[in-house]
Chain A
Amino acid sequence: MAALTSPTAAGRPPKPAGRRRPRVWRGIVGIVAAVYFLGPMAFSVLFTVNVPGEGLTLSSYRGIFGAEGFGSSLRLTLELAAATIAVTMLLLVPALIAVRLSAPRLRVLVEVLCSLPLVVPAVALTAGISSVLQWGPDDFADTPLFEIFNSAQNPGFPVVLLLAYVLMALPLAYRTLDAGLRALDLTTLVEAARNCGANWPRTVVQVILPNLRGALLNTAFLTLALVLGEYTVASILGYRPFAVWIVSIGGSDAQMSVSVSVLSLVLTWALLVLLATAGRGRSARPARRTRDSAATAPHTVQETS
């Protein structure tokens, strides 16, 4: 992406001498950034197809689908991702709408609640979780709570990971959804819908949510990216979702682990592009005119007001 900077800078119309230096400067910044950010990607792809002694081959990609643990770890991750997105939305969307509409005094509380996870790094959170999970066998061995503790750690679908992921997704999800809601005139929308005879569920589902589509998609994407890449909590607690699986095969087959990394990256980018095209129509932000007006001086005075 950043590679585009240099042609951009070169293709600009001529300007007074004082403004020329920044263009050169911008070109250098763009090239350095492009090399640094695209280099590792390009070399990883090269690494996966360039087998010493065999020349260029795609064998490392072909081996992925047959590899032991690939299917199960990917399925676990995707299930966790879907559940995390659903739970995050169900917790946050009603709360944020309510805060905007009828309980503005709760706003600070919600903001603090959603920012708390930022203070506790994932490793520390995991240490706390594993300590809490110790209570199961230690303190509640004969109570029904023990069953809950056990089922939360079921390796088929570890609810404890789901809970941790939702908690870790809260800060980003909160910011994205809050920014989306801020762009809406929620009170007017709701009053209009209510006056037209819509009940509350219908107002939320048919009026508010469609208007929030961009923010919802963004939240879903960020959460998905978080769960796809999450390694810390899962590896320390001993589960084996996708990221942990990649590292574990990295020990025996470095080439395959890099190919899987490349694939997961391509998947993430594809999702991003999908999201960008899907969200384009709705989430169009008001254009910033301050920058564009720099070229046309007469307008700048009006822009300040």
Chain B
Amino acid sequence: MTTAPAATPSPAAGPSSQVAVGGTAAAPDPRGGASRRRPRAAGWLAVLPLIVFVLVVFGLPAFAILTNAFKTSAGDPGGQRWTTDNLSQSVHGAYLTALWGSVKLSALTAALGVLLGLPLAHAVVTSRFRALREGVLAASGVLANFGGVPLAFAFVATLGNSGELTRLLNLGAHGWSLYSFTGLTLVYLYFLVPLMVLAITPALDGLRTQWREAAQNNGATTLQYWLHVALPVLAPSLLGGFVLLFGSAFAAYATAAAIVGSSVPLITLQIANALSGNVLVGQGNVALALSLDMIVIAGVVMALYIPLQRRSARWLH
């Protein structure tokens, strides 16, 4: 492929191309108004497939969740009726426990992820070695998307019942179990901390050295600098990072499913169980109601995240 743009200018276009390149905005379009309209229509045409795709592939399932969550199951003897039973079932009993378990796990891991990700990101950002920085950021990109089956098996091999470290240190005798709330917390941090590093690095880059120097010149200690300058500036990004991590942990399914099966109550595991009819047949619409609960929580999380991100973006430029 030719990488140089416009390698061979045709002689005829010479002068006009210079005008266009020199003053793109100011130069009057020689082709007049008619051809200006065409690109706009072409623009719509180019965006149209994306719109149609999202409307169908996202819209149909969303519509199905919204309607069927409020209906009795199709095989019901009395025919399909509108009902709020599914929704009330989804916030009672075992389902409520699972919902609460998910919220607790996500909040705890997100908080830990923020606390651990910040020093790591700071150490990387303030390093003078570009290669280290690029390397850690690239690794974070991989690890942040590494949630799922390989991650689960890496931890099972390390800290599971017959894992290498468990056997080596005889952790089982000390009451260690990977297949628990604590175990899952440890595993989740493996992809949440890198995610935090990715999320906070731009904000840390935005911390100007001059601010630190100004604080030092005014006699501030490192602690004072962090408390009164750096953390207030970083606060929106840290909160935004927390929200992002929370959402990510809340939606995680594969890791938990591959490690604990269903011994830790989590909402994602309950939905999968209800869908595959492992618990009771005909729970499909309860699964949809549970999904609706999840979407509401994830929606609130996103609604918090976007303004926080906008606010923190102010410091980046």
Q: Which residues from chain A sit less than 8 Å from chain B, CB to CB?
A: 1-2, 4-5, 8, 12, 18, 21-22, 25-26, 29-30, 33, 36-37, 39-41, 43-44, 46-48, 50, 90-92, 94-95, 97-99, 101-103, 106, 109-110, 113-132, 134-135, 138, 163-164, 166-167, 170, 187-189, 191-193, 195-198, 206-207, 209-211, 213, 222, 225-226, 229-232, 235-236, 243, 246-247, 250, 254, 257-258, 261-262, 264-265, 268-269, 272, 276, 282, 288, 290-295, 297, 300, 304
Contact = CB atoms under 8 A, between A and B. Distances in A.
B6 interface: yes
A258 to B, nearest CB: 5
A110 B47 contact: yes
Contacts of A297: 213
A94 B46 contact: yes
Contacts, number: 325
A4 B132 contact: yes
A203 to B, nearest CB: 9
Given A192-B17, A196-B6, A229 B47 contact: no
**Residue among B157, B253, B288, B299 having the largest count of chain A Cβ atoms under 10 Å:** B157
A125 B268 CA distance: 11
Contacts of B16: 195
Interface string B57-76: 11011101100100000100
B170 interface: no
A47 B158 contact: yes
A276 B2 CA distance: 21
A123 B138 contact: no
Q: Is the interface of A mostly helix, strand, loop or mixed?
A: helix
Interface string B231-274: 00000000000000001001101100110000000001001100
A170 to B, nearest CB: 8
B61 A132 contact: yes
A236 B276 CA distance: 7
Contacts of A258: 153-154, 156-157
Contact of A167 (B54, B127, B148): B54
A261 B132 contact: no
Interface string B147-180: 1111001111111001111000000000000000
18 contacts: A37-B139, A47-B163, A95-B47, A95-B49, A101-B39, A120-B298, A121-B250, A127-B291, A131-B288, A167-B54, A195-B6, A195-B9, A196-B10, A225-B142, A258-B154, A276-B138, A291-B125, A300-B213
Contacts of A48: 157
Contact of A195 (B17, B53, B247, B295): B17
Given A102-B40, A122-B251, A195-B20, A211 B5 contact: yes
Interface string B278-300: 00000010011011101100110
Nearest to A134: B74
Nearest to A268: B142
A293 B258 CA distance: 48
Contacts of B50: 91-92, 95, 110, 113-114
A193 B247 CA distance: 44
Nearest to A295: B128
Contact of A272 (B62, B65, B142, B294): B142
**Residue among A113, A195, A292 having the largest count of chain B Cβ atoms under 10 Å:** A195
B107 to A, nearest CB: 16
B209 interface: yes
**Residue among B132, B135, B150, B254 having the largest count of chain A Cβ atoms under 10 Å:** B150
B126 A102 contact: no
A238 B149 CA distance: 16
Given A102-B40, A192-B20, A231-B149, A122 B58 contact: no
Given A40-B154, A229-B149, A304-B208, A99 B47 contact: yes
A266 to B, nearest CB: 10
Interface in B46-101: 46-47, 49-51, 53-54, 57-58, 60-62, 64-65, 68, 74
B23 to A, nearest CB: 10
B143 interface: yes
B24 interface: yes
A120 B47 CA distance: 22
A102 B295 contact: no
B4 to A, nearest CB: 8
B272 A236 contact: yes
B24 A187 contact: yes
A2 B62 CA distance: 41
A128 B288 contact: yes
B123 interface: yes
B295 A124 contact: yes
A22 B125 CA distance: 12
B128 A207 contact: no
B208 A290 contact: yes
B3 to A, nearest CB: 4
Contacts of B189: 36
A120 B292 CA distance: 9
Contacts of B224: none
**Residue among A102, A167, A235 having the largest count of chain B Cβ atoms under 10 Å:** A102
Nearest to A41: B154
Contact of A120 (B3, B213, B295): B295
B136 interface: yes
